[in-house]
Structure 1
Amino acid sequence: MNTVRDVIRVFEEWAPPSLAVEGDRVGLMIGDWNQPVTKVLTTLDVSEEVVDEAVKTGAELIIAHHPLLFRSITSLDVANGQGPVIEKCIKHDLTVYAAHTNLDIAPGGVNDMMAEALGLTNTEVLAATGEDQLYKLVAFVPESHAEEVRQAVGDAGAGYIGGYSHCTFSASGTGTFIPGDGTDPFLGEQGKMEFADEKRMETIVPASLQQTVEAALTAAHPYEEPAYDVYPLAIPGEPYGLGRVGELPEEMTLEAFVEQVKKSYDVPFVRVVDGKTDRVKRVALLGGDGNKYWKQALSKQADVYITGDIYFHTAQDAAMDGLTMIDPGHHVEKIMKKGVQKEMQHRSQGRLQVEWLASALSTEPFRLA
């Protein structure tokens, strides 16, 4: 049976905590790394109702986007505030894990989900927070398995250069080794020097995929102890960061785009800040509260900037500079519930024996009156 640690190890290959912005509270909120897991519930927020849902469905692990414990607590009143939620999690042996800005930033994460829902193409990062360090992976593989290993590491994401994938270089050589006591060598005999015809295979791996690629290499390599090296490269990697900027397949009127936003994000209304555009082609977006990034949207020549929780004075300043803004609310990040479920079902295949569930509850705190 898989444990919380097993599940999170696979999840963090996609959204490692290192991607989170400084000071963000991500990771284990409540629970036990060694707790067995058969079901995982994905949710935007951890409310008392969501905890009840987890108990009812038999989930032992909740993966949330918004951290349950964002600010330090000095006392725990189980009758008020977050107290009843925390108490119920502990009583029912529920583990809670939060992936916040690391899930926003991760390729395929919240902001990419939002961009995909609108049909945006040619997307790029809105506000860079770092760079995906590139490494050179050098593996030594017996010639009989060279193509199998090459394909495996390429399928895992190694070898991308521009628009080209599975890029490698290889050279033939001779590998030597003496299998020791207790080994079960693919080639050779214990205690005897083996001279093996091998390929030296080189490829490029981004830091975000290093663990995944190394796991693919090890799984495809026939040796008990695969020999490989990893070197940092001086050439720049792909930037990563918050928000996305992309293009619609076809230009449309602002009013038509507003309707598309409401439909794509399943919201009854949006707030619109009128700038200088009445037609939309290039769109910037940032899930959650993106008030301080409107100037990046302007510099990226976006016709419209979509984000939540727009402040009054931010709206005034952006409008004076000609930027049109659309506020669909913070809760549109609910898109991550089914998005994480789908992604992790794929990543779990052959690796985890767990069922992934998306919360059916709304944690939107507002209602129209």
Structure 2
Amino acid sequence: MRYTNRHILEFLEDWAPQSTKLEYDNVGLLVGDEEQEVSSILACLDVTPEVVDEAIALQADLIVAHHPLIFRKLSRITSSDATGSLIFRLIKNDITVIAAHTNLDAAPGGVSFVLASRLGLIDVHFLKTQEVPAHPRGKETGFGMIGMLPESMELPAFLDLVSDRLENRGLRYAGTPGQIRKVAVCGGAGSFLADEARRQGADAYVTADLKYHEFFTASDVFLLVDAGHYETEVPVVKALCDRLRDRFPEMEVHRTSVNTNPVQYVFQEQPQKMK
């Protein structure tokens, strides 16, 4: 069967409808032609020069990204601009870009669901359901997830679990609960759900992009963990690939090999004292 970008858009619309995105967001077809034929897809978190290089090398027709390449309004597209130069290269190589961002955050089986699964949570449900706009097919949508660990864990063991499962040795955290069983998560920037996690009795809340003063809301019964924006969201790329392969078995679907995380960590056994 001949597939076009329109078929991919329809697949994403069924899973993560654009009507469920947050108002500020920019999702869907961002670069390219809806009727262009697709036989090879590259899935990623971010569209970077290295990812575009990879797409060209793989002869991919389409990049499906979580973060939109075009987010703010563009006043011009030039090769001297970082975003403009990427758009130039994409168009020259007939590569389309589709983004699924906050609509994929809100989708059943989306970003936070995959994060919860990665941490081994069971009996999960949305931390905060999305009332309007509703999913056009009646499915529940929302942000964040809350569930249970199979067994209670002490704080050090839980932090080791998060670090290992998300492959991040640089966790930031506050709070000292003795036992952790009920856990809330939100992939990416999720400070807006911390109060809801606490209200629902979570022992721990794992998210990213927490500000300094927000850590003061942690306590001896509530743990806040900042596990990194990239680290809490990138697991959804594999889930996206799996769904694309299930829906389009004849198509080549590649998961990017590029680590697009711009954040680097320095680890010292003993921090130097300030003079």
Give the alignment's TM-score, normalised by structure 1: 0.68
Q: Distance in 2 between matches of 1:28 and 1:82?
A: 16
Note the 1:97-246 alignment, pairs <5 A.
97-130=98-131, 207-208=136-137, 239-246=140-147
Q: Distance in 2 between matches of 1:28 and 1:272?
A: 37
Match of 2:227 among 319, 322, 328: 328
Query: SS of the residue aligned with 1:341?
Result: helix
Runs of 4+ in 1 over 3 A off after TM superposition: none
2:5/2:38 contact within 8 Å kept: yes
1:11/1:344 contact within 8 Å kept: no
- Equivalence for 1:362: 259
Identity %: 36
Deviations 1:16-75 (A, max 9, x none): 112212221111111110111100111000001101100101111000001111110102
Note the 1:1-369 alignment, pairs <5 A.
1-130=2-131, 207-208=136-137, 239-274=140-175, 276-316=176-216, 318-319=217-218, 323-332=222-231, 333-349=233-249, 353-369=250-266
| Structure 1 residues 132 and 282: CA distance shift in structure 2, 3 A | farther
Unaligned runs of 5+ in 2: 267-275
1:41/1:63 contact within 8 Å kept: yes
Query: SS of the residue aligned with 2:165?
Result: helix
Query: SS of the residue aligned with 2:130?
Result: strand
Q: Distance in 2 between matches of 1:49 and 1:324?
A: 36
Deviations 1:307-349 (A, max 9, x none): 1111011112x12695311111000111122110012211224
Deviations 1:233-274 (A, max 9, x none): xxxx76420000000000010110111111111212211112
Deviations 1:190-217 (A, max 9, x none): xxxxxxxxxxxxxxxx843xxxxxxxxx
1:304/1:324 contact within 8 Å kept: yes
2:29/2:97 contact within 8 Å kept: yes
Q: Distance in 1 between matches of 2:153 and 2:133?
A: 34
Which is greater in Rg? 1
Q: Distance in 2 between matches of 1:60 and 1:251?
A: 46
Query: SS of the residue aligned with 1:90?
Result: helix
- Equivalence for 1:224: none
Equivalent residue letter for 1:247: M
Aligned length: 264
Give the alignment's TM-score, normalised by structure 2: 0.91
2:178/2:220 contact within 8 Å kept: no
Q: CA deviation at 1:282?
A: 0.3
Deviations 1:119-145 (A, max 9, x none): 111111112222796xxxxxxxxxxxx
Q: CA deviation at 1:115?
A: 0.6
Q: Distance in 2 between matches of 1:309 and 1:300?
A: 21
1:304/1:326 contact within 8 Å kept: yes
